A and B are shown apart, each in its own frame.
Chain A
Amino acid sequence: MGALEVRGLRKTYGKTTALENLDLAVENGEFFVVLGPSGAGKTTTLKSVAGLVEIDKGTVEISGRDVTSAEPYHRNVAMAFESYALYPQKTVFENLASPLKSGRSGKYSADDQRRRITAVTTTLGISHLLNRFPRELSNGQRQRVALGRVLVRPADIYLLDEPLSHLDAKLRSAMRAELKQLGEMSDTTTLYVTHDYQEALALGDRIAVLREGRLVQIGTPEEVWKRPVDTFVAKALGQPEINLLPAEVEHGQIHTAGGAVQLAVPPGLDVVAGTRLRVGVRPRDIELSRTQADDAVLCMYGTVRLAERLGRLVELTVALGDDTSVIVVTSSDRAAHEGEAVELAVRLEHVHLFAGDDAGEETARLGSASTKERQQG
């Protein structure tokens, strides 16, 4: 167990800057997720903490000790890689025992080893596989063994690099639940890297969103979901992506070019006439309404262009007239058909307002359209 503090981290590979001025403070026992697309610097962050790369600038502290220049095995961290990295010629038991034999993290008697391995394999549900070889295991089982190899050794911090990315979608969601349970049981500080927003939301006590080597936002899952600091974070969470409609302020109203979206400028939002904005609405926050709307709701009218079944849900592409269209996700029991005219409703607290963009830049969130919520930032 231990806290982790990273300050002013900078890492370059030749001319490429992988990380720039990264600050992270992970509390003791926290399950901390680093989320970002490929190339964001997630794995470099892990490797910097583990001591597997030499950093250009900044400090790394583990349990209050500066380990910036310490060798990897003196940092007392345990890392699992994206590939399973098991010894093919060793049984599961021998694979699990190997981190305990290296001597770098202390000496373990045969009894101690057996006890630790039993504890870990019971938790992971792999006790019946101890005598098998990696080639005799399914992908999910291999993943569990790889995870077991990390957990078997006591460490201040567990570093996990996309541990579920090799699993198919169905197995991944089952393993995610198991990891969550494991995280709740153990109180070891964990730094977990992923590009999968659902994993981040499900597992993280807090999430750090990275983009091109820079930290964009840190917060609880609810904070990053409900109050993304910019369009990048808003788009990174949620599938299908958040709808972003270009709009302009005029006569105290925010409206899109075609006039399909009309909103009062919420109190506290300091914008002058002519300001360009982007109105952000998540596909799942849009409801197909056939009832009378109240004034806490944004209404839009359109025609269903495309209805695509996504399991129990249906994804509708609704044309709002002119060039604007929005994606709506709704239950298949309530879905509309292609060609049908529909009325869409979104609660104002789910309408995000972002600054207008120039040339496809990511822009900051200004607040929500709610008349009640206090405006942030």
Chain B
Amino acid sequence: MTATTAPDEAAAQRLVLDKLHKTYVSRGRESFEAVKGIDLDIEPGELVALLGPSGCGKTTTLRMIAGLETVTSGDIRIGSRSVADLPPGRRNVGVGFESYALYPPLSVRDNLAYGLKARKAKNVKERVDTLAERLEMSELLGMRPANLSSGQKQRIALARALIRNPPVLLLDEPLSHLDASQRQRVRRELKVLQREFGYTTIVVTHDQLEALSLADRIAVMDAGVIQQFGTPDEIFDDPANHFVADFVGEPKINLVEGTTERRGDRVVVRIGRSGVLMTTTTTPEDGRTVTVGLRPQDCHSEHGNDALTLEGEVKVYENLLEFGQATVTVPGVDGPVVVQTSPEESWSSGEAMRFAAPPERVYLFDTDTGVRLG
């Protein structure tokens, strides 16, 4: 820890990434551009998730903000101050890593207090106690890291990032080692704490559900580029491209080939041998080949005489009691289409199913570029 530290407990601040680049150059190998000029403007107190598959550049971005990686080009600003050239200790960010980085010989209490003591903070004991209570871990304070489960270690690593009350908080996969029900509780608590204390927060995750549920806004990254930056509603209901639609949502969105057909001022899309679905898009010309995205949750079985449906044969029907899930083969369509049904429905293998999705939930993408067609 450096002697000259930034002020403790500052108010939340705006965080701006300006054309941020990171290129790794190693001798004898091709240089690798991990982050390709990203721009992000994060409001004070906002929680933003960097979401993407492994290798998309999200952790590199986080490490550049923390000061653990040098910046190849571009700038990082916290408040009005450029921090791109400052050492980590002077950036005034709290960091929680996926690997816990706890001090093994120290008790949990001392692990939490360490950063505070190094900064000569007051009321260290009270602050540790209060936070431990909030994170349901008071009983762990006397223990050593070696005696803890991975879920417990993760909560402590999280607490250690929170305890300094930093104006900017960076968390790398903060919930990945928790089991399903713990993850939900800690996720909710993290969100409540973050709101209460107003840290400007970046969470790096590969888990789309975690990003959707936790973040105010999500930056979906792939291949070093931000594919879409928006609220969870925008990302899920209004995906900007094929990648975002495919990466976000579980079960996965169905992506099938279709052909557009203009009917007056509306556009319908023909799918497979006899399927037709209404869309709300207006731009594509007649007869264009497109990729059609249909979320399983948005499909519903149809029993009326509506001609605007897809029809197929149920291959498998899974009754999950919370809902049902049919895997349907549609003539002329490659691969199966997954349809979620209400738990009251019941289907058997071999049955014919007609289904459709609301026109505003039938997404069309350019087959080559993947860009969403409006």
Contact = CB atoms under 8 A, between A and B. Distances in A.
A306 B192 contact: yes
Contact of A201 (B209, B297, B321, B336): B321
A332 B320 CA distance: 20
Interface string A40-55: 0000000000000000
Contacts of B338: 173-174, 177
B297 A202 contact: no
B63 interface: no
B322 interface: yes
Nearest to A200: B320
Interface in A172-206: 173-174, 176-178, 180-181, 184, 198, 201-203
Main secondary structure on A side of the interface with B: helix
B198 to A, nearest CB: 16
B180 interface: yes
A178 to B, nearest CB: 8
B327 A177 contact: yes
B370 interface: no
A320 B252 CA distance: 35
Interface string B322-334: 1001010000000
A23 to B, nearest CB: 26
A66 interface: no
B250 A170 contact: yes
Interface string A233-259: 001011111000000000000000000
B233 to A, nearest CB: 7
B236 A309 contact: yes
Interface in A302-354: 306, 308-313, 315, 317, 332
A110 interface: no
A201 B191 CA distance: 31
Residues of B in contact with A, size category: 35 or more
Contact of A312 (B184, B213, B298): B298
B127 interface: no
A284 interface: yes
B214 interface: yes
Given A202-B318, A306-B188, A311 B214 contact: no
A201 B79 CA distance: 51
A222 interface: yes
A265 to B, nearest CB: 27
B320 A201 contact: yes
Contacts of B315: 177, 181
Nearest to A169: B250
B363 to A, nearest CB: 14
A84 interface: no
Nearest to B320: A201
Contacts of B181: 235, 239-241
Given A310-B212, A312-B295, A332-B233, A225 B188 contact: no
A148 interface: no
B319 interface: yes
Contacts of B297: 311-313
A35 to B, nearest CB: 13
Residue from B187, B298, B320 with most neighbouring chain A CB atoms (10 Å): B320
B191 A308 contact: yes
B349 interface: yes
Contacts of A312: 236, 249, 295, 297-298
Contacts of B237: 332
A180 B316 contact: yes
Contacts of A163: none
A308 B218 CA distance: 13
Contacts, number: 93
A342 B187 CA distance: 23
Nearest to A179: B316
Residue from A174, A178, A310 with most neighbouring chain B CB atoms (10 Å): A310
Contacts of B327: 177, 181
B207 to A, nearest CB: 8
A239 B180 contact: yes
A311 B209 contact: yes
Contacts of A311: 208-209, 212, 236, 248-250, 297
Interface in B194-253: 208-209, 212-214, 232-233, 236-237, 248-252
A180 B192 CA distance: 40
A356 interface: no
A181 B316 contact: yes
A202 B188 CA distance: 28
Contact of A170 (B236, B251, B336): B251
A37 B249 CA distance: 26
B326 to A, nearest CB: 9
Interface in A79-136: none
A364 B141 CA distance: 33
A315 B213 contact: yes
A184 B251 CA distance: 22
Nearest to B323: A284
A175 to B, nearest CB: 11
Contact of B319 (A178, A221, A241, A310): A221
A202 B208 CA distance: 23
Given A310-B213, A311-B250, A177 B318 contact: yes
Interface string A196-223: 0010011100000000000000000110
29 contacts: A170-B251, A173-B250, A173-B252, A173-B325, A177-B325, A177-B338, A180-B318, A181-B327, A184-B316, A198-B320, A201-B319, A221-B321, A226-B321, A237-B321, A239-B180, A239-B181, A240-B181, A241-B184, A284-B322, A306-B188, A306-B191, A308-B213, A308-B214, A310-B212, A311-B208, A311-B209, A311-B250, A312-B295, A317-B188
The 4 closest A-B pairs by CB, nearest first: A312-B297, A308-B213, A202-B318, A309-B232
Given A306-B188, A309-B213, A317-B188, 8 more contacts: A170-B250, A173-B338, A177-B318, A181-B349, A201-B318, A222-B319, A226-B321, A308-B213
Interface of A: 37, 169-170, 173-174, 176-178, 180-181, 184, 198, 201-203, 221-222, 225-226, 235, 237-241, 284, 306, 308-313, 315, 317, 332
